[in-house]
Structure formats: structure tokens, C-alpha cells
Amino acid sequence: MDLVERIRSGNKRTLSKLITEVEYDTETGREALRELYKYTGNAHVVGITGSPGVGKSTLVARIVKELRKREISVGVVAVDPSSPFTGGAILGDRIRMQELACDPEVFIRSVSSSAGTVGRTTKNIIRVLDAAGKDVIVIETIGAGQVDLDVLNVADTKVIVLMPESGDEIQMIKAGLLEIGDVYVINKADLENAARTKSQLSLAIKERDGWIPEIVMTIATSGEGVEKLVDAIFAHKKHLEDSSNLRKGRLEAVKSEVVEILVEKLKMRFYEKFSNARYSDIFEQVLDKELDPFTAAELIEKEEGL
Amino acid sequence: MFIEKDLKEIESRKKEWESKVTSLIEKYPERKDRFETTSGIEIKRIYTPIDIQNMSYLQDLGFPGEFPFTRGVQPTMYRGRLWTMRQYSGFGTAEETNKRYRYLLEQGQTGLSIAFDLPTQMGYDSDHSMSLGEVGRVGVAIDSLRDMEILFDQIPLDKVSTSMTINATASILLSMYIVLGEKQGVKKEQLSGTIQNDILKEYVARGTYIFPLKPSMRLVVDAIEYCSHHLPRWNSISISGYHMREAGCNAIQEVAFTLANGIAYVEACLERGMDVDAFARRLSFFFACHNDFFEEIAKFRAARRLWARIMKERFDAKRPESMRLRFHTQTAGSTLTAQQPENNIVRVTLQALAAVLGGTQSLHTNSMDEALALPSEKAVRVALRTQQILAYESNVGETIDPLAGSYYVENLTSKIEEEALKYIEKIDKMGGMMKAIEKGYVQQEIADAAYRYQMEIEEQKRIIVGVNRFKVEEPVEVEILKVDPEIEKKQIERLNEIRSRRDAGKVKDALERLKDAAGSEENLIPYLIEAVREYATIGEICDVLRDVFGEYRELTVV
Amino acid sequence: MKKGKNIRVLIAKPGLDGHDRGAKVLARACRDAGMEVIYTGIRQSPEQIVETALQEDVDVIGLSILSGAHMSIIPRILELLNESGIGDIPVIVGGIIPPDDVEELKRRGVKAIFGPGSSVNEIVEFIKSIT
């Protein structure tokens, strides 16, 4: 059996090994992605983010359980931060999902955010899981920073998790997450201020491309509200499928991905050129302030006939 | 405590002395730049009256049996009655453990202390898949009342005091003990003993929780409330620092987190509508005793004083008994080494001595082979003899709190009280211990301290004799107790027999009533008593409660 | 192991024993040594551990067990690893394991056993040496 067949038939060992190849962007990984590409695009990708402490992991576990109840197969990608110094990481999001570990229709993979390319890595891991036949792929993000947005951007449905707040203004406004969420969750809804947070939130969010983001109240620890949350996710999925925007949006994504790959290639090509001494004079001049970097770039552009 | 003039004189003379020492040190440096206790408190070269000049004898020390109980909780302490020598034990089946108990009672042990196996502690029957390999392993396996009947065969419950190390399923085991008493013709009022029943520390160390925090707290309070009405001689909770200490926290944190847990329980009881003086006197505590001799003694004294003040000032307790911190001590298992195990006898002796000098009410001394396996009979005997030698040969118990007035010990006592209070204030700000646990704060503090401690050992900043210095190549020659692997099979056979013999209809009814009660706000103990009386198993009872309460999942705190 | 790839270690506590001090200290030491640590926490069944190792493509499995249930649990894990086709992943064990059992577990395929008093730096170095 070749790789594609093994992936398509759900061989976990192959799947797991391939994810590692894809994660490290190896030749083997790229080769496999080329072959698997035509089998992708069937899974619905759900990104889940929220600040640390809002109960994300517990909620993800509940969502997966609910999906399994509906007999939907699930892939999970859990992203955890890594140390910028050692590259080491504790990947502990699984703790909350371990009771799902043995379900043959669930595949959970922990990823560290070590590389600055975690957005792309995640996208490719999703493709592998997608080709392996998972119906829904849930990505759990770290909950902070640019890395988070990069990861979230690969999701079809973006779920933002909040918890009741006592302050007058919802913190998420600062993080800019109010512009991108498709579904908002107020978790720990049994806490004080839940209703108030909800009404503040509903004032703050706006219709986008014909979709008014839904707000769902949940208590992840007991599972309350999770059914509604999953309904909301599927409602958004249906909206995407019905709307002409889906193809338009995906076309944009494809365009930016191809451009990104091109840029990456060009970059590599330039670095190769620079490694032989051809332009070293120019760089020396820039360093010695005899030339500015903009002029230097123009010079090289001309030289290369770009 | 000192005259101003004397203090001035001492201060100036101390300065003179120090300047001489400083020049001496230039030539002959001391062993370290900084000396400190295990908790990181700096240890000075010497202590003088200056170090305790702010201490007031009457306010800060007082007299034994009187507020703030720094010097001890009883007026005569060990002159009246020695501490209870209580060796924690239990393994295998109820029959075997029963034999060991009767042996220990014959040997002069004065109280029983039951160790349960992990399935019993976590509410699984012996035939549950998670029980694989665990049945009868770290303690005795109890599935139903039948096992308790065998465990206490020929041991009259009105003659012994029984301490049960049980938490998540404490209310169930207590219920079994009550029914067992009934069957022996012993009234509830006569039952004496302790259930650990301290679920909060399970979430931060040790890990034998089942349900989420809130319903777990309810079960804890149910037991405390029930005991306050019906079992006047029963300690309904043993608020334990031991396991947090074993998980890696230091002495200050041990005091702080234990008392913060205590505060959470008191608050929960008050919320239930109980009067503080109705239950506080039955709260008991449980600490570890480590190697840092003086710090440990100071720790016990500080804990007593701090708790007395908390009960009086924060909770407005009126009865002195409500303010007394009575505690059990176990020597610290984590200080035992697998290397040169005989050295552990010396460690245990020092720790036991510190516990006695710190005024413990009861004591468990670890066996030298516990870092290798479950203790053998011989090792258990040596451990018990260690206590007996302290009690009968060393004369350390003949006067009360003999280290009071030591400049060092008093200074250290105040320091630990002060630092522990800071932690408690921090936890208060977070909204109390339950919130602090939900956030993972306490877990993180403990993990950090454990990691630091280990790194100090790795870097040889902390010496463990026989482990990172003074090593020898040696074959292990300790006699080791092995648990018979057949135990699991036998236990499951008995479980099946009970299931087939009991009245299934009555069991079902009792479990249904329990389920309804769990969904209400009623005290669950009477329902548990009815269920265990019909030989409902721990697994069946816990499944009912899991259904209603849900299960707790740990936080990722490393 | 591939060049430039982080070592991935699974650290799990099988059985019901909740004493996780050793597991956590090692997890942290591995992280500080630049490894990716999949930490599953306590109360893991053999099946959960093996499935996790499979899905996470780990290089090493570290098990910590202090309850005495090791002779029932660890052989079962080794067996399941083989059945899942990942019997090649080295397994190391930490905890209170009597000498006889140490021999038996090694015979069955456990790579190394670290008892009380082991240096975590040594364990970290050992992991590096076998990956």
C-alpha cells in the first residue's frame, strides 16, 4: 500500500509519522502533501481561541464528545507555546481529552508553536487529517498573540471563548477578536455577570458577510450549552456553504498561499545567490553607510532583471 | 521580654563580636556564603535576645493548653499521656490486614491507622478496569461492608481509635464504620477516630479526587455536619499538609496551604449554617516532619499559633477547644533513600524527635525500606521502636515545649508564621482556596518548589547522604514485603459473592434514594448509611454520584 | 532522529497512583533541555498511553508509577505497543520498583528504570542518548 492509501485507510502510525514530516516541512512531507491535496477540502475546520483560564481545553474536550455523539469523526490539533530559548515545550492540552484518546474516530495531535511558521504548519497538518477522512478538525490555540491569529486564520469557523467579566468593557475588544469571531462562547456561565457580559458582547459584535455571530452560554465543566455550541458551529458551516462568499473566500486563501510559497521560494533563491560573493560589495557598502538599503535593493533588482 | 538597657548593651557587644568574627572569616571562610533553612529563611550565625525583642511571652507563647497554644494544646502534654503511636498500615485483603492490626495492637500500638488501596480511595470496585494491578496494593481493598466486617473481626470498635486515610470516599467509609459499630453493638457516640476527608489537598497533591470541587466540598461538609450531631468523639476531618509537603512544597507553604484549606472548610461549614464552636473542636490536622530539625519544630509551633489566631480573630470562635490545632505527624516519606536504606532509621529518628519537640498528638514513623517497597514486618517494628525509645528512654517528653525561649526557635517560629500569613492573604485575595486551586496557583507553587529542590540536589547545593555524596556500591539487602498477586482474584471473587448474596432490590432502592438526595441539598450521610447497610459497593455508590456530580479533570500544571 | 527535530517525550502516570512529583519534575527538566513533552497527567490506562504515543509520534515513553502496580500495568503497555506496531519506541520507567521486578521488566523490554534518588539530569541525558 502506498502512503496515500495508508493515510486514506486510517493507518494511525502512518498518519502520525506524516504529521511529523509536515511539521518539519521535509521533502517527504511536501511530496505527500502534493499527493494528498486532491483529497482535502472535505473537513470543516473549527478554530477555538480564548485567553488562558477561560476553560478552552475543557470546552474542546466537550465539543469533541458532542461531535462523537453525532457520529462525526474528529481530528484535534492542540497548539501549546514553546520556550523561545530552548525550543522545549510542555504539551499538556491532551490532559482534558484523554478519555477520547482511545476512540478510533478521534485523532489528537499536540503541536508546539516553536517555529514562526506555526500557522502554515497547522494548515498542512489539517490537510493531512482532512485527507485521512476526519469530518471535523478542531484547532485549539494558545490564546495569545499573533501566533494565535495565524493559527485561527486557517479555520472555517472561528470560535472565541470568553468568560463573564466584572469590568465595564470586554477585554477581547483590545485583542481585536471581536472582528473575527463567527461564534462567541461565554463559558463558566454560572458565574456572576454572565448575563451582563452577554449583553455587552451582543452590542459589540456586528453582522459580517450576512452572518450575525452567535453567542452561546456554556459551562464546560458540566457540559451545559455544548450541544447549542455545536449547533451554532454547524449553522455557520451551513451559512458558508449557502453563501457565494465561500468560494470567493477560499479563492483568496488559495491566492495568498500560492503567493506565500512563491515568496518563500524567491527568498531562498536570493539567499543562495547571496551566499556566493556576488553582491557582497553592495552589502559592505550598506553597512558602511555608503549606500542605503533601498538603493541597494533597486541595484540588485536591475542586475537580476526583475 | 527584655529590659531596654540590657538590649542596648547586648546589641553593642554583639557588634564588637561580629567585627572580630568578620576579620576571622577573611582568613577562615565559613562553609557557605549564606546559610538557610529548607524553606529559604536565612539562618544567622547566632541568635540573641535582640532577635525576639518584639515577642511578648503572654501574647505570643502563653501556657500549654491556653491561647494561642504555641506551647502545646494540652495543659500537661506528654506528662499526662504520651502521643499516640499510630503506624499507618494496610495491604492486601481484609483478612491479612486484620492479622497485622491485631499484631500491632499486641505490640503496644495504641491506635489503628488504615491505609486503603487506590481503587477504594477513588471509588472503583476491585473488578473495574482501572483497578488492574492496584487491588490491595498500597492498602487494604474495601468493596463493601463485608470487607470492613472482616477487617475489624475481633477488634471491638469501642476499644480502639481508628484513623482512616480516605478522602473522596470518606463519607462512604465512615458510613460503613457506623454500620459496623451497630452490628458490634457499639453506639455512634462511642466511636472514636478520624477520617482524613480533606479533599482540597487532593486536587493539589496526591490526586485521589473523583468529583469537581463544589460537590466534593459538599460531601466533606456533610460528614463534618453529621459527626457534629452524632459522633462527638470523631475527628471529621484531618486537614493535611503532609501530601503537599511530599509533593514538594516547603515548610512555610505547608503551613500556609494547610491552614488556607482549613479556612475554606470552616467557611463552607459556616455557609451550611453551622455554629463555629459546634464543629471547630473536631477539626484535626496532619503534617509531615522533614529533616531541617529546628525549622520543623518551629513550623509546628507557628501553625498552632496562627490557627488559634485565625479561629479567634477571623471566625470569632469562643471556645478555646475551637482554637486548638491538634495534629498527627508522619515522618517525611520523600526524605527516605533507596540507597543505604539503614540510614533512613537515623533520618526517621531525627524527624520523630522534631515532631515530639513540636508537640504532636500522634505520630507515624516511616519504615526504612519504604523507598524500595511496602514495609516489611521487621522494618515496621524498628520504626515503632524508634518512637518507644523517644518516649521511654530519651526523657524528651518530661517537660513541655522545652525549646521555648530559644532565640533561634522563637525567631524562626515568628518568621514562619509571618511568611505563611502572607500566602494566606494572597489566597484570600484570589477569592479563597477553591479559586486558587481552580486557577492552578497552589499546584504551580508546589511544582516550582519541587523543581527547585531537585535542581539543588542536582547541583550538589543540597546534600543527601548516600545519594549525591558518600555513595557506596551495594547490593540491596533489605527484606522486602511482596503483595501476593492472587489477592486481586480473591477480592473479586468475594465481591461477586456479595453481589449475588445481597438483596438486589433493596440495593437498587437505596441507590435510587441516594441519587435523589444527591440532586437535592440534603445531607447525604444517612442515605450512604442505608446503601452500605444493604452491601452496595463503593463503585456502585460512586457511579451514582458521578452521574449526578460529574468528574474532575486535572489542570495542566507542570 | 532527524537533525533539527525536537525530541518528543511522552510522560504519563499509569494506574491510579496520583503522586506526580517525579513525573512533573522530569517533564520540566525535559522541557528545559529543549524537548517537547506530551504530558498526560495521572490515571492513564495502558490503552490511553499507547494511543497517545501512537498519535503523538513520540521518541520516548516515560512512565512513572509508585503504587506497586507496575508488574500488572507495564507488561500490558509493552504488549499493546507491540500490537500497535510501535514496539520500537523505547520505554523508561521511574518509581519504586523492587530489584527483582527491575530485572523482569528489563527482560521484557523496558529500556531503563530509575528508582528514588535518581538524578533527573541523568535521566535527561539518557533520553538524549537513546533518541
- DSSP character string of B460-521: TSS--BTTTBS--------------THHHHHHHHHHHHHHHHS-HHHHHHHHHHHHHHHHSS
| Side chain identity at residue A281, one-letter code | D
Interface of C with A in 8-37 (CB under 8 A): 27-28, 30-37
Is the Cβ of B369 closer than 8 Å to some Cβ of chain C?
no
Which CATH number do you get for residue B168?
Answer: 3.20.20.240
Q: Could you tell me if C40 and B553 are in contact, meaning their C-beta atoms sit under 8 angstroms apart?
A: no
Percent of chain C as helix, strand, coil, to the nearest 5: 45, 25, 35
Q: A114 vs C56: CB contact, 8 Å cut-off?
A: no
Structurally, what CATH architecture does the domain formed by C8-130 represent? Answer: 3-Layer(aba) Sandwich (3.40)
* pLDDT tens-place values along chain B, 558 residues long: 788 999 999 999 999 999 999 999 999 999 999 999 999 999 999 999 999 999 999 999 999 999 999 999 999 999 999 998 887 776 778 898 898 888 878 877 777 889 999 999 999 999 999 998 899 988 899 999 999 999 999 999 998 889 999 999 999 999 999 999 999 999 999 999 999 999 999 999 989 999 999 999 999 999 999 999 999 999 999 999 999 999 999 999 999 999 999 999 999 999 999 999 999 999 999 999 999 999 999 999 999 999 999 999 999 999 999 999 999 999 999 999 989 999 999 999 999 999 999 999 999 999 998 888 778 888 988 999 999 999 999 999 999 999 999 999 999 999 999 999 999 999 999 999 999 999 999 999 999 999 999 999 999 999 999 999 999 987 766 666 677 778 899 999 999 999 999 999 999 999 999 999 999 999 999 999 999 999 999 999 999 999 999 999 888 888
Q: A26 vs C31: CB contact, 8 Å cut-off?
A: no
Q: What is the 3-state secondary structure (H, E, C) of A223-288?
A: CECHHHHHHHHHHHHHHHHHCCHHHHHHHHHHHHHHHHHHHHHHHHHHHHHHHCHHHHHHHHHHHC
Give the residue from chain C lying closest to B92, CA to CA: C68
**Residue A30, C-beta contacts closer than 8 angstroms, at least 6 positions apart:** none
Q: A221 vs B212: CB contact, 8 Å cut-off?
A: yes
Are both B35 and B71 inside the same structural domain? no
Q: Find where cell 525583642 sits.
A: B53
How far is residue A12's CA from residue C116's CA, in Å, rounded to a whole number? 36
- Chain A closest-CA separation from residue B438 CA (Å): 9
**Residue B316, C-beta contacts closer than 8 angstroms, at least 6 positions apart:** B276
- Chain B closest-CA separation from residue C47 CA (Å): 11
Task: Summarize pLDDT for B293-345 with one digit per residue, the tens.
Answer: 999 999 999 999 999 999 999 999 999 999 999 999 999 999 999 899 999 99
**What is the grid cell recorded at B357?**
519537640
Q: C41 vs A26: CB contact, 8 Å cut-off?
A: no
Q: Find where cell 540507597 sits.
A: B339
Distances (CA, A) of B254 to A282, B88, B424: 65, 21, 11
- Chain C closest-CA separation from residue A188 CA (Å): 23
Considering the domain boundaries, does residue B545 fall inside one? Answer: no
Is the Cβ of C57 closer than 8 Å to some Cβ of chain A?
yes
Task: Give the ipTM.
Answer: 0.94
Mutate to test the interface with C, among A91, A97, A113 (most CBs of C within 10 A): A91
Are both B37 and B71 inside the same structural domain? no
Considering the domain boundaries, does residue B499 fall inside one? Answer: no
The continuous run of DSSP H or E covering B377 comes out as helix B377-392
How far is residue B93's CA from residue B91's CA, in Å, rounded to a whole number? 6
Domain count, chain B: 2
Is the Cβ of A101 closer than 8 Å to some Cβ of chain B?
no
CA B55 centroid distance within chain: 30
Q: How many A-B residue pairs are in contact by the CB < 8 A criterion?
A: 18
CA A48 centroid distance within chain: 9
* pLDDT tens-place values along chain A, 306 residues long: 688 899 999 899 999 999 999 999 899 999 999 999 999 999 999 999 988 888 899 999 999 999 999 999 999 999 998 888 888 999 998 998 998 999 999 999 999 986 557 788 899 999 999 999 999 999 998 877 777 777 888 899 999 999 887 665 666 555 577 888 999 999 999 988 899 889 888 888 888 888 999 999 999 988 999 999 999 999 999 999 888 777 877 788 889 889 988 998 888 888 887 777 778 888 899 999 999 999 999 998 888 877
Are both B43 and B71 inside the same structural domain? no
- In B246-377, where do the E strands start and end? 283-289, 327-331, 362-364
Q: Could you tell me if B522 and B548 are in contact, meaning their C-beta atoms sit under 8 angstroms apart?
A: no
**What is the grid cell recorded at B247?**
509533593
Are both A154 and A49 inside the same structural domain? yes
**Residue B361, C-beta contacts closer than 8 angstroms, at least 6 positions apart:** B73, B83, B84, B284, B326, B327, B328
Planar angle of CA B333, B338, B341, nearest 5 degrees: 90
Residues of B with CB under 8 A from a CB of A: 212, 439, 550, 553-556, 558
Mutate to test the interface with A, among B553, B554, B558 (most CBs of A within 10 A): B553
**Among A12, A90, A95, whose Cβ lies nearest the Cβ of C31?**
A90
Q: A92 vs B558: CB contact, 8 Å cut-off?
A: yes
Is the Cβ of A6 closer than 8 Å to some Cβ of chain C?
no
How far is residue B543's CA from residue B520's CA, in Å, rounded to a whole number? 17
Instruction: Tell me which chains share at least 3 CB pairs under 8 Å with chain C.
Output: A, B
Are both B15 and B159 inside the same structural domain? no
Q: What is the 3-state secondary structure (H, E, C) of B77-129?
A: HHHCCCCEECCEECCECHHHHHHHHHHHHHCCCCCEEEEECHHHHHCCCCCCH
Are both B32 and B108 inside the same structural domain? no
Beta bridge partners of A108: A76
Give the residue from chain B lying closest to C13, CA to CA: B207
- Domain ranges in chain C are 8-130
- Chain B closest-CA separation from residue C2 CA (Å): 27
> Which of A195, A216, A243 is the last residue in one of the domains?
A243
Beta bridge partners of B331: B289
Is the Cβ of A19 closer than 8 Å to some Cβ of chain C?
yes
Chain C neighbors of B116, CB-CB under 8 A: none
Q: B558 vs C24: CB contact, 8 Å cut-off?
A: yes
Q: B439 vs A53: CB contact, 8 Å cut-off?
A: yes
Considering the domain boundaries, does residue A109 fall inside one? Answer: yes
Considering the domain boundaries, does residue B443 fall inside one? Answer: yes
CA B252 centroid distance within chain: 15
Helix axes B441-458, B407-430, angle to 10 degrees: 140
Is the Cβ of A110 closer than 8 Å to some Cβ of chain C?
yes
Q: A95 vs B555: CB contact, 8 Å cut-off?
A: yes
Domain limits for position B13: 4-52
**What is the grid cell recorded at C128?**
538524549
Considering the domain boundaries, does residue B549 fall inside one? Answer: no
**Among B137, B208, B450, whose Cβ lies nearest the Cβ of C18?**
B208
- Chain B closest-CA separation from residue A51 CA (Å): 13
Distances (CA, A) of B140 to B100, B103, B128, B479, B491: 11, 16, 16, 21, 10
Chain B neighbors of A90, CB-CB under 8 A: 556, 558
**Among C17, C73, C96, whose Cβ lies nearest the Cβ of B372?**
C96
**What is the grid cell recorded at B31?**
562553609
| Side chain identity at residue B292, one-letter code | D
How far is residue B203's CA from residue B297's CA, in Å, rounded to a whole number? 27
Chain A neighbors of C33, CB-CB under 8 A: 86, 88
Is the Cβ of A104 closer than 8 Å to some Cβ of chain C?
no
Considering the domain boundaries, does residue B512 fall inside one? Answer: no
Chain A neighbors of C7, CB-CB under 8 A: none
Are both A266 and A239 inside the same structural domain? no
| Side chain identity at residue A55, one-letter code | G
**Among C67, C72, C115, whose Cβ lies nearest the Cβ of B118?**
C67
**Sign of dihedral through CA atoms C20, C22, C25, C28?**
negative
Are both A218 and A157 inside the same structural domain? yes
What burial letters (b/e) apply to B345-363, b meaning 16+ CB within 10 Å?
bebbbbbbbbbbbbbbbbb
Are both B29 and B98 inside the same structural domain? no
By C-alpha distance, which of A33, A231, A227 is closest to A131?
Answer: A33
Are both A237 and A267 inside the same structural domain? no
Length of chain C: 131
Q: What is the largest CA-CA distance in chain B?
A: 86
Chain A neighbors of C47, CB-CB under 8 A: 101-102
Are both A266 and A171 inside the same structural domain? no
**Alpha helix segments (H runs only) across C13-113:** 21-32, 46-56, 70-83, 99-107
How far is residue B95's CA from residue B97's CA, in Å, rounded to a whole number? 6
Are both B98 and B48 inside the same structural domain? no
**Among B212, B439, B556, whose Cβ lies nearest the Cβ of A95?**
B556
Side-chain-side CA neighbours of A176 within 13 Å: the count stands at: 6
Helix (H, G, I), strand (E, B) or coil at B328: strand
Are both B121 and B42 inside the same structural domain? no
Helix (H, G, I), strand (E, B) or coil at B8: helix
Is the Cβ of A101 closer than 8 Å to some Cβ of chain C?
yes
Domain count, chain A: 2
Task: Summarize pLDDT for A232-280 with one digit per residue, the tens.
Answer: 999 999 999 888 777 877 788 889 889 988 998 888 888 887 777 778 8
By C-alpha distance, which of B46, B73, B49, B70 is closest to B60?
Answer: B70
Percent of chain B as helix, strand, coil, to the nearest 5: 55, 10, 40
- Chain A closest-CA separation from residue C89 CA (Å): 12
Is the Cβ of B444 closer than 8 Å to some Cβ of chain C?
no
Q: B556 vs A90: CB contact, 8 Å cut-off?
A: yes
Are both A289 and A207 inside the same structural domain? no
Chain B neighbors of A102, CB-CB under 8 A: none
**Residue C52, C-beta contacts closer than 8 angstroms, at least 6 positions apart:** A94, A98, A101, A108, C10, C12, C38, C40, C44, C58
> Which of A243, A270, A294 is the last residue in one of the domains?
A243
Are both A123 and A259 inside the same structural domain? no
Give the residue from chain C lying closest to A106, CA to CA: C55
Q: C48 vs A114: CB contact, 8 Å cut-off?
A: no
- Complete DSSP assignment for C7-25: PEEEEEEESS----HHHHH
Domain limits for position A300: 254-304
Is the Cβ of A109 closer than 8 Å to some Cβ of chain B?
no
Chain C neighbors of B464, CB-CB under 8 A: 117
> Would you state the pLDDT for residue A115?
54
Chain C neighbors of B205, CB-CB under 8 A: 18, 21
Are both B39 and B89 inside the same structural domain? no
